[in-house]
């Protein structure tokens, strides 16, 4: 099936939705401290989205085929949780790493972004996993330009993760996004250069690698949503929503507090 190209009007609305999603992460960052519950982070984000931004939290009630409706406004995935962690009574403690994944809807358009947060001082291993995963996402983003292929994105992500002794989760991927939360194409975080769909200006999709410190296998918890690593190893994820432009890419989920592309990757941007 053909992948929809966004019109200039769509793109303008996606810039707005993307910026709002990123701004929720800026807002919540100071609250990610030892002693807070993931449920409290959800409550704060939900309130900010609805009352301050006038956005709709896309996860709330989201119900893909085979799932039960997602019960909360954001996803909070702690330590060995890979993705789709449901906020609740869990109290964050020093040394935890947590992914907060925010999807806002504004004027019918979606913005989807996530970041890793460290509670207190992270272990060297946890910090390295978060850093390498951020590099993986950015290496993927740097591939984005007309004429490149989706397989190019997956390939650089897989290479970088595995070179560092980590593994790439296969069961979940990035996705097209627009007036729907999850659209075509699927954006795999592993693969071979030159394979799969050729990128065209006007495509918008997310890049959101989930990288495990141990083995890549995962398990779903009985809540029907939370994904954890089978071997209990730590997992990290970062996510941006990205537009293919005539000359390369534009990250749509931008905000003042967003971590920059790691400087170590600078030379690759010019290439
Ligand atoms: N935000 C996730 C993604 O990046 C999807 C979460 S679905 C939910 O695609 F229902 F768990 F919110
Ligand atoms: Co996404
Ligand atoms: Co997301």
Residue 3 lies in a domain: no
Query: Which residue CA neighbors atom 7 of ligand 1 most closely?
Result: 59
Residue 193 lies in a domain: yes
Q: What integer best gives the mean pLDDT of the chain?
A: 97
Residue 248 lies in a domain: yes
Residue 1 lies in a domain: no
Q: 101 CB under 6 A from ligand 1?
A: yes
Residue 139 lies in a domain: yes
Residue 220 lies in a domain: yes
Q: 112 CB under 6 A from ligand 1?
A: yes
Residue 15 lies in a domain: yes
At 2, the pLDDT band (50, 70, 90 cuts) reads confident
Q: How many domains, in total, are found in the chain?
A: 1
The mean pLDDT value for 28-42 works out to 99
Q: Report pLDDT digits (tens) over 87-99.
A: 999 999 999 999 9
At 73, the pLDDT band (50, 70, 90 cuts) reads very high
Residue 61 lies in a domain: yes
At 269, the pLDDT band (50, 70, 90 cuts) reads low
Q: Report pLDDT digits (tens) over 152-201.
A: 999 999 999 999 999 999 999 999 999 999 999 999 999 999 999 999 99
pLDDT (0 to 100) of residue 270: 47
For 71, the domain range is: 8-268
59 CA closest ligand 1 atom index: 12
At 271, the pLDDT band (50, 70, 90 cuts) reads very low
> What is the DSSP secondary-structure string of the chain?
-PPPPPPHHHHHHHHHHHHHHHHHHHHHGGG--TT-BHHHHHHHHHHIIIIII--EETTTT---TTSPPP-SSSEEEETTEEE-PPPSSPBP-TT-EEEEEEEEEETTEEEEEEEEEESSSPPHHHHHHHHHHHHHHHHHHHT-STT-BHHHHHHHHHHHHHHTT-EE--S--EEE-SSSSSEEEEE-SS--TT-SPBP-TT-EEEE--EEESS-S-EEE-TTSS-EEETT---EEE-BEEEEE-SSSEEESS--TTSPPPPGGGHHHHH-
The mean pLDDT value for 122-144 works out to 98
CATH of the domain at 81: 3.90.230.10
pTM of the model: 0.97
């Amino acid at each position: 099936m053909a992948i929809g190209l966004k019109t200039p009007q769509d793109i303008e609305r996606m810039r707005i939705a993307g910026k709002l999603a990123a701004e929720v992460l800026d807002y919540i960052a100071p609250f990610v401290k030892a002693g807070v519950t993931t449920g409290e982070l959800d409550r704060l984000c939900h309130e900010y989205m609805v009352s301050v931004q006038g956005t709709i939290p896309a996860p709330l009630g989201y119900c893909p085929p085979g799932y039960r409706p997602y019960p909360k406004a954001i996803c909070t995935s702690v330590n060995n949780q890979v993705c789709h962690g449901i906020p609740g009574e869990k109290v964050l403690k020093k040394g935890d790493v947590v992914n907060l994944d925010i999807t806002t809807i504004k004027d019918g358009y979606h913005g989807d972004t996530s970041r890793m947060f460290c509670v207190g001082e992270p272990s060297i291993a946890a910090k390295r996993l978060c850093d390498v995963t951020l590099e993986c996402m950015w290496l993927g983003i740097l591939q984005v330009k007309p004429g490149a292929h989706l397989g190019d994105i997956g390939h650089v992500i897989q290479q970088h993760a595995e070179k560092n002794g980590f593994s790439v989760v296969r069961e979940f991927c990035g996705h097209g996004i627009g007036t729907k939360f999850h659209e075509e194409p699927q954006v795999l975080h592993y693969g071979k250069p030159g394979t799969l769909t050729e990128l065209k200006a006007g495509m918008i999709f997310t890049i959101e690698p989930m990288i495990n410190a141990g083995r890549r296998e995962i398990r779903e918890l009985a809540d029907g949503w939370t994904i954890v690593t089978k071997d209990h190893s730590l997992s990290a994820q970062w996510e941006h929503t990205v537009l293919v432009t005539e000359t390369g890419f534009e990250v749509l989920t931008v905000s003042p507090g967003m971590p920059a592309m790691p400087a170590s990757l600078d030379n690759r941007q010019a290439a």
